[in-house]
Amino acid sequence: TPYERLLPAPASARAEGPGYPVGAATVIRTGPAAGAEVRRVAELLAGQLRGTSGLPLPVDHGRAGDGIRLRIDARAGGLGEEGYRLDSGPRGVTLTARTPAGLFHAGQTLRQLLPVSGPGTVPGGRITDAPRFAYRGAMLDIARHFFTVDQAKRYVDQLAQYKVNTLHLHLTDDQGWRIAIDSWPRLAEYGGGTEVGGGPGGHWTKDRYRDLVAYAAERYVDVVPEIDMPGHVNAALASYPELNCDGKAPERYTGTKVGFSSLCVGKERTYEFVDDVLGELAALTPGRYLHIGGDEAHSTPAADYAAFMDRAQAVVARHGKTVVAWHQLASARPAPGAVLQYWGHDRTAAAEKAAVAAAAKAGHPLVLSPADRLYLDMKYDTATKQGLAWAGYVPVRRSYEWDPGSYLPDVPETAVLGVEAPLWTETIATRADLEFMAFPRVLSLAELGWSPAARDWGAYSGRLAAHAARLDAQGIAFHRAPDVPWEE
């Protein structure tokens, strides 16, 4: 049944009795007491369902009646901030949640219960569902190769339909600076003018960034912007000589090496730069997190790194945000409440893992992005044209068969905020490349983040196979992994 094909798997689903045929007379209803946000969710769902069914699906904010009904129930038990209940019978489908976000997720489940194209019947039954982890993210690196806001919006739509709720944007690196900063205009104008391989690069204006943030928020996806520091900063150093200890700007960089650049930790001008950039970014970003990178700072001595991160974290707090940083921050002094993003792999040193476990024990939430499980830029196998393989090959099965709750030694599930699948773009230059590398592995991420902990590859691969037609209909040229029984 369609209940057995849902992805991510719901916490509880029971098919029973006759279903509801969605047809030309179907109305989407919110009821007269619905707030503006619920009405907006209803209109968005109507647009999504019209696009595949070809039906009129008017939205009625007044009368009760048969149809697809959206209702908020603040007393609904066990649903939390993002959960929902879906009840389907001959008179209609009722979506119930405590929040509009829950109703949005319910709507995405409803989409999967209907055919990929044309009208159909929602099978009778009940789903009660809520996520395992609060943070379910995907990262897009627009610094190594430039991607447009429209390309990022398309990715948001693809992710949100599978209940991914965070888009982490890697906005700056050695090869390019992609966000306009008014107080330091050459960062984007000059530092944004290149990319890996020497292409033209590009950058987002503040208005375009705001537009993406609003678009994502309408789909209950939070944007987490990242300005990587104190390493990965050649684009900034090339734009402003005074950010260099010797006052001389290096050439812009179009290669793929890492670890060679560093902000000048001893200069006060460096901290004015950090304050200006993070301040402008905080003002553009309604979400709670600012990501300050902190990885691969090989050109910054350890004591300098710790001193710099102390000050950078204080800047984030001053601008009212919570720090996220790569797990190397564990070797310095993570500020209270700072979130650490772990990107190690099987061969990561035990001491490094122990430092992360100690940070978790001290109260720092972890986002898990193990490179040999969730890095979407790792090759699937030897035949994959794009991507890298420094963490090994990551076939679809490997991306799925692990448990975030018990993954790191001495880290309890309660310390895990969630999971994120990063897509670094050293070798990824087009939308087709991006989608081939992300899909279907980003669906493993969606299920790891949302669904209860049981991990059965056989059951999952069967459900994944059923989504081929859905991905095809959206024009996603995904990797047809040989060990998945794809349905044509």
For residue 425, which phi and psi values (nearest 5 degrees)? -120, 30
CB 237 within 8 A of CB 243: yes
Q: Specify the pairing of strand 366-368 against strand 125-129.
A: unpaired
Write down the catalytic residue from 296, 401, 420, 426: 296
d(CA 377, CA 291): 20
State the residue for tokens 């393989």. Answer: 389
The tokens describing 345, both together, are 């792999």
Sign of the Cα torsion 357, 363, 364, 370 reads positive
The residue among 319, 248, 255, 234 whose CA lies nearest residue 283 is 319
State yes or no: is 296 an active-site residue: yes
Rounded-to-integer distance, Cα 445 and Cα 449, Å? 6
Angle (deg, nearest 10), helices 457-465 and 441-450? 120
The owner of tokens 């949100």 is 160
**C-alpha to C-alpha distance for 71 and 94, rounded to whole angstroms:** 7
Q: Is 331 exposed, middle or buried (0-12, 13-18, 19+ CB in 10 A)?
A: middle
- Rounded to the nearest 10 degrees, the angle between the axes of helix 268-284 and helix 302-318 is 40
Helix, strand, or coil (residue 134): coil
Burial 448-457 (b: 16+ CB within 10 A, else e): bbbbeeeeee
Using CA atoms, how far residue 79 sits from 74, 106, 128, 220, 242, in Å, is 10, 11, 8, 16, 52
Enumerate the active-site residues: 296
